[in-house]
Structure 1
Amino acid sequence: MIKRTKKVMAALMVAIMMTTTSYTVFAAENDGWTEAPYTEAAQGGAWETWCEKWETIKNDWTQLSITPGKNETELNFAWYSNKEETSPKVRISKNLDMSNFVEFTGKQSRAVTNQKTNVEYVSNKVTISGLEENTIYYYTYGTNENWSEPVEINTQSTNKFTFFLVGDPQIGSSLKNTATGETEVIGQERAVRNDSFNWNNTIKKALSLVPNASFMISVGDQISIRDKNANMEQALAYTDNEIEYAGYLSPDALKSLPVATTIGNHDAISGNYSYHFNNPNTSTLGSTVAGGNYYYTYGNTLFIMLNTNNTNAQEHKQFIEQAIAEAGDVTWKVVTLHQDIYGSGEHSNEPDIVELRYKLVPIFEENDIDVVLTGHDHTYARSEILKGGVKDSSTFLTEEEFEEFFDIEFESDYTELVEDEKYLNYLESIGDKNAIQSDLIVKGENIYNPEGILYITANSASGSKYYNNVPRQQAYIASRWQEDVPTFSAISVDNVSLSISTYRTDTMEKIDDTITIVKSVEYGNLLEKIEEAEAKFEYKEKYTVLTWVEFEATLLSAQKIAEDTNLNEELLSEVYGNLKVAMDQLALKGDTTELKVEITAAEELLNNSVVGNEAGQYPQEAKNELVAAINTAKEVCSSDDASQIIVDEAVSKLKEAVNRFKNTVVVKEEASGGITNNGIDSNESTINDSTWTSKPNSSVNTGDSSNIFVYGILSLAAVGIVALNFKKKKEIVK
């Protein structure tokens, strides 16, 4: 891995400040990140509520994780408990009162000890089986016959299904950034709190779009902190990242949404990954301290999860062949690994990453893999359809050579680009231009039965850290995106097609075209899809108008074209793919129950308020603003085109407007006898806008006081960086 100058200095500062009395970090990184309190999702009191909830979560190492089972009829559970608690069990029932339950008993193994509380934990793992598709279940879990409250979990269809793809939550990584304003992220706990809020929001947004998702895939780096120098015994007992696992597992949605986690480089070298997750069909092949490769099937798809922190390609080859043989007849083969072998961010051109690419790609191609999902680069990328990428040893650089060139570009934020011929030849050769499949049958956003593999690199799902895209886009890239906003992908699968749509979480707009791979389609497949689409008319009133209009137009076109029974496969593929995507994009109207309650409360507050400059009264401008906010919320309530995402945002904005209005009330200041507005001295008879407009969440104290000694050390470190950068001036810079 490249040790860039800024990374080294950041690590130096971390080490220095770890010797002070507080765990305070201001790293000299230029990576972007998302400061949670200032996001739209944090408004209306959501951040304050989260901060209160976080106090009950941060020290809870016992939270549950659910993983897909070896196939769709199973689910795997894992959780910590005190070592005195024995006999881990899970009960499953079709009834909320847990009547007629089926009980499953699991196993325990040693986990870690909390040195602060001296509590020794064990890892409980239970597998439940016999699940039916499209069924509502309830489960409880526990030890020593102490049971949790029942939780609803629903199984989905297996012949067509959707799952989410998320990249690098890396909870706690914002520790390496300097926050702004009054919400400085100081210390690991505050970093984890920040990142966990955003992580919760991403999952909430994803489920509001596709509430019936079957599961989620995370392409690695669930957490951030690890000890690279730990021996085996220390790695198995490591606990500094347990607060990060607490944040990662905190979303309530994960109690009903299975997650297939990939082992990232931040997960790979501590034992607690293997304690927290109960992966199916695990293998010793591809092992690190965290565990090895595993696989599972869901419907017609085989999912192969590789731990490529172990770079032994022969072990991965053996495992892939074994998984394919055991899975039997499947339509789709999807591989997940952490490293971004065809990405476009700051890691993508590193020689060790590219070397891994050329080891793995022939194995993938020999085994007819359809899609490869990766992370590591904290930025989104989609490749062309690729086949036959070959390493050009004559142009390859060593790690040291590459670092020397890349550091110059990186340190300048890519304003200075290296023009050295050796460097440019290397970059061109690893662009794999010759691997791009140019003879594809492409109709719109549909690719028909391609010979080759599609590679997706996922951006950060939590916003804990973003990397920039490299300045020279590689030839193999079809699309890439980085605007420092968390993203997720919804991947929809059926018997003949696989579609990928990727969304930003702030606006919920797509950041790339929906790409659909369509395998061999027969006329009967199209008729079945049309029949499935026609059944949607029974529920027409449940969908937003805009998405329904687009869907209906696409269906009418498909129906007309299908009147010809002699369609060629290319046209069948195009029509089938378009109709499938239109069905996938149908959005349900949002539930406005909560919004109506908030509107009623806001109107009551408004009706009981009096305009004026006396104590207990409100500025006219503030009242006007609240009236406007209420009217906007009412428009959402009455809209036929408000999805759940829009409704949720309306609730948040109305709550924010109400809080802001309450903060403008005029109060009497006892000491001076003067009148103040929102705590601001205002003896003047006129109250202008600046006296009642408040900064969102400025009262939330999420940081600690700065330390002059620390800033002195940072100044010395900065001098060191300048000195190092001075040595970097070379003639190879254009």
Structure 2
Amino acid sequence: MNENLKRKLLLSLATMTTVSSMCSASVFAFGVHAGGYKDYISNVQNESGYQDWYNNTWNNKEEFDSGKVILTPGKTAKDLNFAWYSKVAGTPQVKMSKSQDMSNATVFEGKAQSINKTNDFDTDAEYYKASNKVSVDNYLEENTTYYYQYSVDGSTWSDTYTYQTHSFTNFQAILVGDPQIGASGSSGEKTNDDQNIANDTYSWNKTLTQAMKTAPDASFILSAGDQIDYSEVTNDNSAEDKARYIIKEQEYAGYLYPQYLRSIPVATTIGNHESKGDDYKLHYNNPNASALGSTNAGGNYYYSYGDALIISLNSNSRNVAQHKAFLEEAISSHEDAKWRIVMFHHDIYGAGAPHANTDGANLRILFAPLMDEFDIDVCLTGHDHSYARTFQILDGKVITTEGVGEDAASTAYNPEGTLYIAAGSATGSKFYALSTDKQYYLAERSNNPIPTFSTIDFTSDSFTIKTYDVNGDKYANDVTIKKDEKATSIEELKADLQSMDKVDMTSGSKQRIEEALNGLSTTLETVDDSVAINDLASRWNTNNDPLDYYARAKDTDYRDPNNTDALKQGYSKFLDKTFYEADKNAAVDEATIDQVYTNMLTAKSEVVTKAEYADLQAQFDEAGKFLSTIEIGNKKGQYTQENVNAYKQALAQLKTQMNESKITKTELTSLLDSLKQEQTELQSLVNKEDITPVTPVNPDENNQNNNQNQQETNKDQTPSQTTDQSGKSDQIVQTSNSATSKDAVKTEDTANVLGLTLLAVGSLAGIVSYKVYRKKETE
């Protein structure tokens, strides 16, 4: 990491909303939109094209096809993953070519997992027998068109599909939230005539169609969980359980339906409606898939794309230790990533009434500290079916940031903290009410009942998210983050200070680090919430778990009496800080956090090790030894007493600055330089020749001789007169140039002049040394 103080780029704004007092919640009269959340889907059914699509495309054709191939991102931009169901088992293969006729194709082989799935309620329905996965590794080039086919036997191949890569440096993604196919609540559930799946599929395809028009060069899609709706799975192999899986596979047929998913990878995360079954991990081939953070649906995964590291966490798992280990693994794989993006389902800083103040708030206890610890730039979530954008959040605090306003377009430069985005609904299958009070952490929110999507533009120094509705009109304000390549965040600096070996440093260095870290904790009003974190993590999925499977408080022992799903006040210090006592949770202004940052950076850069301090002491000891070896006198190779005294005084002055409990690296370096300079200067003043002592001259006698010499000189001078035009005369003294005048200088005067000259030379070194010492003293 670059240790230079991060550069704060300034943005000039004509107006900017002040957020210093935003922690006092403002009351907004938000609720479920007029007519209830089913209105949008009812309108879909009345669209002119819907009935024709249902009769000729969906019904008895597409609704039974949950085996479609779906692309997912590979480990890097050069990789691509494939997954699909097949009704026969074999060896899955994908072949890719740059030619549409598939000439010179490269074949990639994968693995199959045996399954027994169907999406048909007919008793004689044919079942899917294999989940097939193939990874294309280190093959793709940027800005290139590819063609691919897939097979399970190597002889019968699928139709040919097109896949287009784009820039691996500056690229675009699409964000969608909660398609939740099957959630619209219409008729036909548990039959082959499930209208809600058809409605939501039609709307999902419509949203993706508009998203691809808005962002035709998008490199991948991010889907923030709850891709499907049906979550009630018991895995007991009963007839009822089989029916539930059939419903889920019908919903997957709807989610996989859009043709665009054959040409653009989709990176999903596990929602609460998917976490109980195994169908999620069978339908997707996620890169770097891990068992860490697992539920029945699967666990965490990550991939890198250009300067971005994308991390997907399963927020249904409350195993914090596993999430932390996974984040360490992911980040170490791409330590130089400019952008760290985390996506999980639950909106821990959301806007909706059903979740943001209940299970989302409960999970905030676990996941918000992880976002801080691993210095995540942006956290993408879903769950509340309402759009929400936060201010920059660090340790539950709003960090006021120049360029970031409320309900306005924002551009932040090298901001501290994490930006949280909760995507709305991509299908309109369900809409929720917003919280009555606008939470202190929100910069913008909306539950306008229309499907939405966002585009995200990544460059080497900027991240920009723009949000649109299904018609392509702007739904929310644009948000941009710009980062200087040399910027080191306050969380990175904190981690550096905490990891330093304090055993090998001076007490002063250790104290400066402790004071700097304490200054950050004091500013952010950090609380120790380890008891609540450990309790929620260790008792997860046990009989005495404080929360149910969906993270809602279970009973009166843990439940807030005024909020049946939130953990009660006093259980978690962090929840108290960010929820129950939010009105006291004042924002931190940028100037304050910058000063804290400066103090931390200074503490790190000014560390003095014990070895360095010992070396300084040794250098002073060497200076003392040098002093003891020199000789004082007027002989060649000796030093005058004046020079030695000045050197002793300089050493004494420097030694007063040696204080183990206070000295900084800068001061130590300066002391060493000064010590070396003093010794060098003294060595340069060594007598180069013997100095002859001179008898001091009596001042009175010297003055008498001078006066006599002047009188005798005046005898040889003859006055002459000159007259100017005004008639005035000036007397000019003429000095004789005769030999007699030269001989008039007395020999004793010559001796006096020589004596003064020798005295001046003899004391020159002392004068120089005094000047050196005086300069040091005044400095």
- TM-score over 0.5 (shorter chain): yes
Give the structure 2 partner of residue 21 of structure 1. Answer: none
Give the structure 2 partner of residue 204 of structure 1. Answer: 209
Alignment partners' CA distance in 2, 1:46 and 1:177: 15
Return the letter of the residue paired with 2:143: N
Name which of 436, 449, 465 aligns with 2:414.
449
Give the structure 2 partner of residue 86 of structure 1. Answer: 90
* Residue correspondence of structure 1 range 248-259 to structure 2 within 5 A: 248-259=255-266
Give the structure 2 partner of residue 51 of structure 1. Answer: 55
Deviations 1:423-467 (A, max 9, x none): xxxxxxxxxxxx111244559631111001000001110111111
Is the contact between residue 36 and residue 198 of structure 1 (CA under 8 Å) also seen in structure 2? no
Return the letter of the residue paired with 2:148: Y
Give the structure 2 partner of residue 136 of structure 1. Answer: 145
Return the letter of the residue paired with 2:400: S
Return the letter of the residue paired with 1:136: T
Q: Secondary structure at the match of 1:198?
A: helix
Return the letter of the residue paired with 2:41: E
- When residues 46 and 441 of structure 1 are mapped into structure 2, their CA distance, relative to the original with a 3 A threshold, is closer
Give the structure 1 partner of residue 484 of structure 2. Answer: 520
Return the letter of the residue paired with 2:317: N
Alignment partners' CA distance in 1, 2:51 and 2:390: 37
Return the letter of the residue paired with 2:331: I
Q: Which region of structure 1 is more displaced relative to structure 2, 477-486 or 237-246?
A: 237-246
Give the structure 1 partner of residue 275 of structure 2. Answer: 268
Give the structure 2 partner of residue 476 of structure 1. Answer: 441
Alignment partners' CA distance in 2, 1:314 and 1:278: 25
Alignment partners' CA distance in 2, 1:256 and 1:322: 30
Is 1:458 equivalent to 2:423 in the alignment? yes
Name which of 302, 309, 314 aligns with 1:302.
309
Alignment partners' CA distance in 2, 1:236 and 1:369: 41
Give the structure 1 partner of residue 100 of structure 2. Answer: 96
Deviation of the 1:521 alpha carbon: 6.9
Deviations 1:151-208 (A, max 9, x none): 111011011111000000110111x2589xxxx9998621111000000000000011
Q: Secondary structure at the match of 2:331?
A: helix
Give the structure 2 partner of residue 125 of structure 1. Answer: 133
- When residues 257 and 305 of structure 1 are mapped into structure 2, their CA distance, relative to the original with a 3 A threshold, is same
Give the structure 2 partner of residue 490 of structure 1. Answer: 455
Name which of 449, 465, 473 aligns with 1:509.
473
Deviations 1:517-551 (A, max 9, x none): 011179xxxxxxxxxxxxxxxxxxxxxxxxxxxxx
Is the contact between residue 140 and residue 149 of structure 1 (CA under 8 Å) also seen in structure 2? yes
Give the structure 2 partner of residue 345 of structure 1. Answer: 352
Deviation of the 1:51 alpha carbon: 3.4
Deviations 1:549-574 (A, max 9, x none): xxxxxxxxxxxxxxxxxxxxxxxxxx
Q: Secondary structure at the match of 2:64?
A: coil
- When residues 210 and 185 of structure 1 are mapped into structure 2, their CA distance, relative to the original with a 3 A threshold, is farther
Name which of 350, 353, 364 aligns with 2:371.
364
Deviation of the 1:134 alpha carbon: 0.6
Q: Secondary structure at the match of 1:510?
A: coil
* Residue correspondence of structure 1 range 270-289 to structure 2 within 5 A: 270-289=277-296
Alignment partners' CA distance in 2, 1:50 and 1:135: 36
Name which of 213, 219, 227 aligns with 2:218.
213
Return the letter of the residue paired with 1:59: F
Is the contact between residue 227 and residue 235 of structure 1 (CA under 8 Å) also seen in structure 2? no
Deviation of the 1:124 alpha carbon: 0.5
Deviation of the 1:37 alpha carbon: 5.6
Is the contact between residue 284 and residue 293 of structure 1 (CA under 8 Å) also seen in structure 2? yes
Is the contact between residue 425 and residue 451 of structure 2 (CA under 8 Å) also seen in structure 1? yes
Is the contact between residue 136 and residue 152 of structure 1 (CA under 8 Å) also seen in structure 2? yes
Give the structure 2 partner of residue 720 of structure 1. Answer: none
Alignment partners' CA distance in 1, 2:51 and 2:92: 35
Give the structure 2 partner of residue 159 of structure 1. Answer: 169
Give the structure 2 partner of residue 75 of structure 1. Answer: 80
Deviations 1:40-70 (A, max 9, x none): 9x43x45413431102101113111110001
Alignment partners' CA distance in 2, 1:232 and 1:135: 47
Return the letter of the residue paired with 1:324: I
Name which of 22, 31, 35 aligns with 2:41.
35
Deviations 1:623-665 (A, max 9, x none): xxxxxxxxxxxxxxxxxxxxxxxxxxxxxxxxxxxxxxxxxxx
Deviation of the 1:231 alpha carbon: 4.8
Deviations 1:486-526 (A, max 9, x none): 000001010000001000113x221211110011179xxxx
Give the structure 2 partner of residue 245 of structure 1. Answer: 252
Q: Secondary structure at the match of 1:244?
A: helix
Return the letter of the residue paired with 1:223: I
Structure 2 residue runs of 5 or longer lacking an equivalent are: 1-34, 487-563, 565-779
Deviations 1:72-107 (A, max 9, x none): 111110111123x41211010000000010000110
Give the structure 2 partner of residue 64 of structure 1. Answer: 69
Alignment partners' CA distance in 2, 1:374 and 1:81: 32
Deviations 1:299-348 (A, max 9, x none): 11000000011111221111111100112311000000000101111233
- When residues 351 and 195 of structure 1 are mapped into structure 2, their CA distance, relative to the original with a 3 A threshold, is closer
Q: Which region of structure 1 is more displaced relative to structure 2, 123-132 or 442-451?
A: 442-451
Deviation of the 1:270 alpha carbon: 0.8
Alignment partners' CA distance in 1, 2:134 and 2:453: 29
- When residues 517 and 120 of structure 1 are mapped into structure 2, their CA distance, relative to the original with a 3 A threshold, is closer
Q: Secondary structure at the match of 1:104?
A: strand
Give the structure 2 partner of residue 499 of structure 1. Answer: 464
Deviations 1:649-702 (A, max 9, x none): xxxxxxxxxxxxxxxxxxxxxxxxxxxxxxxxxxxxxxxxxxxxxxxxxxxxxx
Is the contact between residue 215 and residue 258 of structure 1 (CA under 8 Å) also seen in structure 2? yes
Give the structure 2 partner of residue 603 of structure 1. Answer: none
Return the letter of the residue paired with 1:381: A
Give the structure 1 partner of residue 399 of structure 2. Answer: 437
Return the letter of the residue paired with 1:141: Y
Is the contact between residue 348 and residue 368 of structure 2 (CA under 8 Å) also seen in structure 1? no
Deviations 1:575-633 (A, max 9, x none): xxxxxxxxxxxxxxxxxxxxxxxxxxxxxxxxxxxxxxxxxxxxxxxxxxxxxxxxxxx
Give the structure 2 partner of residue 545 of structure 1. Answer: none
Deviation of the 1:32 alpha carbon: 3.9
- When residues 317 and 33 of structure 1 are mapped into structure 2, their CA distance, relative to the original with a 3 A threshold, is farther
Return the letter of the residue paired with 1:245: Y
* Residue correspondence of structure 1 range 248-647 to structure 2 within 5 A: 248-389=255-396, 435-440=397-402, 442=404, 445-506=410-471, 508-520=472-484
Alignment partners' CA distance in 2, 1:214 and 1:113: 31
Alignment partners' CA distance in 1, 2:267 and 2:347: 18
Alignment partners' CA distance in 2, 1:473 and 1:299: 37
- When residues 38 and 275 of structure 1 are mapped into structure 2, their CA distance, relative to the original with a 3 A threshold, is closer
Give the structure 2 partner of residue 147 of structure 1. Answer: 157
Alignment partners' CA distance in 2, 1:236 and 1:449: 52
Deviations 1:286-310 (A, max 9, x none): 1011100000011110000000111
Is the contact between residue 66 and residue 256 of structure 2 (CA under 8 Å) also seen in structure 1? no
Q: Secondary structure at the match of 2:227?
A: coil
Alignment partners' CA distance in 2, 1:156 and 1:138: 15
Return the letter of the residue paired with 2:422: T
Alignment partners' CA distance in 2, 1:146 and 1:509: 44
- When residues 185 and 316 of structure 1 are mapped into structure 2, their CA distance, relative to the original with a 3 A threshold, is closer
Deviation of the 1:126 alpha carbon: 0.4
Deviation of the 1:352 alpha carbon: 3.3
Q: Secondary structure at the match of 2:271?
A: coil
